[in-house]
Structures are given as structure tokens and as C-alpha cells.
A and B are shown apart, each in its own frame.
Chain A
């Protein structure tokens, strides 16, 4: 796939609407941090050492493509404009850390956009796998398979006692960071979200808003991830996260049920108003779009709205993002008003496109 399609496409493979518990769990992600023996970690390596790492990964790639039955696109950070890099971040395909320095920073992104290998990020190799819905085991199996392939030919930094060695001691051991994106409008509306955010550290988990900051979350999206990486096996870490997520999912469904019973009229009004604005507005800010989108998704999941399918959600989510729109318009110098106008246009088009067939 050409880089252009990667940037302008409006589908987010990892944010599909199918998958387990997809009414609440939008996406699962696994990240493994790996380093090669002897070569200093990227923050201390010189240019030739970084190049060596890149060459080693690159040489392993054809075999990996064969093993997975899936091609990879090579995305060289030195050749991208700042705007293009921002779009890849908005699409969750690379991390912000990756942009600090461009030299020998290369991402290999699978054709289905579910796997992203970052070379010379904080660690020599970051394997990131994503899937829609709650699917940590299978996603980990893919990441582990990729890890096995690299490990079959290259010497990975490993210590019998401390496990996989990583640049930051917070990733040491398994090098595993598993995270899940949750849509929690019910818990936000019933003001139960803070108790979940407060309890999670006791379970070794971190919950934070996906958009916005700690004071104010936008669009009721939250990310939950394991904090600890050492002293537990991968299965234990994933099991712990999964059971916490399932617990949250149960609470969220209960909250939604309560809302639809006790606040039926105001909830319906809220949902339809949100839909009306997205459907017809001529100018939308990012924050407004995400807030309204959350309500529309809730309406679809509760079968209040039948006119559009849930498929509009990922498309509007990416279609609301600033850099994505700028890149689409091929103009970096758009004013805020112009972007707001473009965004509204985009949202209207997506809703038109995702209209459910009547009858």
C-alpha cells in the first residue's frame, strides 16, 4: 500500500465495530519492547549503530512477511513531513517518542494496519499489534510470533533474572504493555468513572482519558493498561487486565441500562440532538465532534438510532482529527475556521455514507 493511502484512508483497522464486547471495548493493543545485545540502546547509540539495528531488522523482514502472510510498508521518518508524522500518530501507528530524532527511525506497518514495528524508538524494536474489540490473547499471540521470528536469528538482550532488557526500567522483564480503549459514556454520565480511575492503580493498572487530560476527558474514551512488567508472566499480566476490563464492561452496561430506564426521555433527546448537529452542522470543533460522536455511538449501541451503523464511529473519529484533515486538504496553513468547516463537511459525508438501509 502506498504511503498516501496509509495517510488518507479513513478506516482504522484496529477500531472496527466487530469483535468481542465491541459495544464498550473499541480496541486492544499489545506492545513488546526488545533490544539487541551489546548495541547501545537508541538514546546512547551513534548513527552507525542505529543503522546497524535498522539493517538487522530490515533483513529479517521478508521472512516475517512470509510467516505472517502479510506485506509491510516501510515508512522512513527522515522522508516524512511533520504533518504526515502527526497523521500516523493520530492513527496510533507510531508513538510521539518516535519523532524525537528522525535518523534511522523506520516504521514497518502491515498492510492491514494492525501491526506496526518501530525501529529505534526508545528501544531497538517495538512490536505493536492491535485488534478491534477485546482480544488480548490473539493479539499477543501475533506479537509473540513476530518476536519469535526476530529472536530466531538475532541475539535479543535478556537476563536470566531481569528478563528482557529495555531502555526504561519501567518496561523491564516482559517488555509487555497491553492496553485497551474503552468507550464509557454510561459511567461518565452516572459519575462513576472517577472511582474506576482511582481504584485501578491498586490492581497494577493505569486508566487515563484517551482524549483530553486528567481534568477533563473528551468523548468518554479511556485507555487502560498494565503498569507492571516484571515479576509476572505475560499470561498473568493479560489475565489481570482482561478481568479488570470485563468488570468495567459489566458496570458500563449496567450504567447504560440505568440511564435508558430512569432517564429515557432526556437520554433520547440528547442522542438525537447530537446526531442532528453532526448531520447538519456547517462548522465543528474537534472537541465538539468527539463529544457528540460519543453520544451518537451510545444511541446506536442502545438502538435509539437506527439510521446509521456503528461503522461511522471510527471514520468520524479519524475524520475529526486536525492533522488528518490538513493532510487530506493538502494544506498545512488552514485557519481554525477552515478546518472546522472541513471537519463538518467530512462528518456529514461519513454519516451519509453509513446510512443503514431502510426497511
Chain B
């Protein structure tokens, strides 16, 4: 059969147009069918943003999570359902997040931690930060990080038989560990 529009090429597509003059069936060749692109693929929007895409990614999360949730829920039957969770600081619900793909405030991350972690792993392949740490709000993390670095250096020094340096590292680790104990004690005392 030849194409209804150009009458030259073999028709490969059959489309049905519903217009004011009723139902029209057309057999079209590949070339002419391309002109009907607007009708054929009306849902493809050009300006799909990163957020639109992310929304899809986030919405996908709960289904996958349900498996782990079943076991978790047996342990904690009181745990609120995730779509009822609301951040006490900014009032954002988990449902809002799924809609917008944006977090509301710093407290939200603590509120929705359990829901967010699998999502983060999907986006970044990891859910644990290993970069820069701020002095003021980094808590004890910075001290712990320093201790780890010193331990590595101490080990290295021992291997190179540089015992002077190793002893120096050991002393500094001790000092930091004491400081850490103080800080952690302080945090517990000063806990909200």
C-alpha cells in the first residue's frame, strides 16, 4: 500500500486521527509520519529539568524500601508511616519532598534519615561523607578524623623504624583522645 499523503512511498505506519470531521484513518510512509510527530508523541516535553527527573528517582524509593521495612516494622511497630512524617523544624512532610525533590531544612535530614539513605546511595553510590569538616558544627568528627590520620602516620613511622616520630604521634593521639572524651562527655551533659 502506498502512503496516503505523498502517494509515492510504501506506507509503514497506520494512524487514526480524531478530528472535527470524525475518525480518519491514514496509512503513511516513514517520512510523512514524521510530520505527525506532535500527535504521535505528545507527552515528550522538551524542558524536562533535573528536578523532574529526580522526582521520578525519589518516588521510586518507597517501593524498594518496603522489603526492608517489613522486617523493620516488626521491631518497631510504633514507627510512623513515612508519608506521615513531618519535619518539626520547617514543617515539611516526606510527601512534600517526593513532590518537589528539595529538602526543607537541615533538620529534615535527621527527620527523614532512614528514607533518604537509600536514595543517596542511588544518586551518589554512597551515603557517607568523607570530605571537608567544619570546625564549629563538625562535632567530634574532626577530632576523630585527626586521630585516624595520626594512627596511619604512626603506623608508617613504625614501619620506617622512625620511633621518634611514632612516639610523637602516639602522644598526640592520646591528647586528642582525652579531648574527644571530654567533648563527648560535654555533648551528653549539654544534650537537648
Majority DSSP secondary structure for residues of B touching A = loop
Q: From B100, B120, B124, B133, give the contact of A158 (CB < 8 A).
A: B133
- Cβ A228 vs Cβ B124 within 8 A: yes
Q: Is B67 part of the contact surface with A, judged by Cβ < 8 Å?
A: no
Query: Do A155 and B137 have beta carbons less than 8 Å apart?
Result: yes
Q: Are A173 and B137 in contact (CB under 8 A)?
A: no
- Assess whether A166 is interfacial by the CB under 8 Å rule: yes
B146 at the interface (CB under 8 A from A): no
Whether B137 lies near A37 (C-beta < 8 A) is yes
B89 shortest CB reach to chain A, Å: 6
Shortest CB distance A239–B (Å):
12
Indicate if the CB atoms of A230 and B101 lie closer than 8 Å.
no
Query: How far apart sit A154 and B137, CA to CA, in the bound complex (Å)?
Result: 9
Bound: A234/B133 CA distance, A = 11
A167 proximal to B (CB < 8 A)? yes
Q: Are B129 and A169 in contact (CB under 8 A)?
A: no
Segment with Cβ contacts to B, from A40-48, A99-107, A243-251: A40-48
Interface flag for A172 (CB, 8 Å): yes
- In the bound complex, what is the Cα–Cα distance between A36 and B50 (angstroms)? 24
The answer on a CB contact under 8 Å between B125 and A228 is yes
Residue A190 CB within 8 A of the other chain: no
Quick one: given A38-B106, A156-B136, A168-B103, are A161 and B125 in contact (CB under 8 Å)?
no
Contact B134 A231, beta carbon cutoff 8 Å: no
A174, B136: Cβ atoms closer than 8 Å: no
Q: Which of B100, B120, B125, B137 contacts A157 (CB 8 A)?
A: B137
- B131 in the interface (beta carbon within 8 A): yes
- Beyond A169-B120, A170-B123, A172-B120, whether A43 also contacts B131 by CB under 8 A is no
Decide: A144 and B132 in contact? CB cutoff 8 A.
yes
Q: Is A229 at the interface (CB under 8 A from chain B)?
A: yes
A233 contacts B by Cβ under 8 Å? yes
User: Chain A, 217-240, contact with B by CB distance < 8 Å: what is the 0/1 string?
Assistant: 000000000001111111001000
Q: A155-B137, A176-B131 are contacts. A170–B50 as well, Cβ < 8 Å?
A: yes
Alpha-carbon gap, A39 to B138, bound state (A): 17
- Decide yes or no whether B30 CB sits under 8 A from chain A: no
**Chain B contacts of A43 at CB under 8 A?**
100, 102, 104
In angstroms, how far is the closest chain A Cβ from the Cβ of B85? 15
Of the candidates B101, B130, B141, the one whose C-beta lies within 8 Å of that of A233 is B130
Complex formed: what's the CA distance from A71 to B125 in Å? 40
Against A, the Cβ 8 Å flags (1 = close, 0 = not) of B101-141 are 11111110110010010011001111111111111111111
Instruction: Flag if B54 contacts A160 (CB, 8 Å).
Output: no
Interface of A is mostly: loop
B176 touches A (CB below 8 Å): no
B131 touches A163 (CB 8 A): yes
Report whether A39 and B105 are in contact in the complex, using a CB–CB cutoff of 8 Å. Answer: yes
Cβ A174 vs Cβ B129 within 8 A: yes
Residues of A within 8 A of B113 (CB): 162
**Do B131 and A234 touch across chains, with their CB atoms under 8 A apart?**
yes
**A165 in the interface, Cβ–Cβ < 8 Å?**
yes
- Separation in Å of the B67 CB from the closest CB of chain A? 22
Least CB separation from A150: chain B residue? B134
A159 within 8 A of B: yes
The answer, yes or no, to whether A35 is at the interface (CB within 8 Å) is: yes
* Chain A residues within 8 Å of B116, by CB: 162, 169
Using Cβ atoms and an 8 Å threshold, which residues of chain B touch A152?
135-136
Which residues from chain A contact B134 at a C-beta distance below 8 Å?
A: 151, 156, 158, 164
Asked whether, in the complex, the Cβ of A163 is within 8 Å of the Cβ of B129, the reply is yes
Q: Are B131 and A174 in contact (CB under 8 A)?
A: yes
Query: What are 20 A-B pairs at a CB distance below 8 A?
Result: A40-B89, A40-B90, A41-B90, A41-B102, A41-B104, A44-B92, A157-B105, A160-B129, A160-B138, A160-B140, A162-B113, A162-B120, A169-B120, A170-B123, A173-B131, A229-B124, A230-B124, A230-B126, A231-B129, A232-B126
Question: Which 9 pairs show the lowest CB-CB distances between chains A and B?
Answer: A231-B126, A163-B129, A157-B106, A230-B124, A40-B90, A40-B105, A174-B131, A44-B104, A233-B131
Q: Please name 14 further chain A to chain B contacts, defined as beta carbons within 8 Å, in addition to the given A231-B124, A231-B127, A234-B131, sorted by A numbering.
A: A44-B105, A158-B137, A160-B138, A162-B129, A165-B103, A169-B101, A169-B103, A169-B119, A172-B124, A173-B129, A173-B131, A228-B125, A230-B126, A231-B130
Report which A residues bind B (CB closer than 8 A): 35-41, 43-44, 122, 144, 147, 151-152, 154-170, 172-174, 176, 228-234, 237
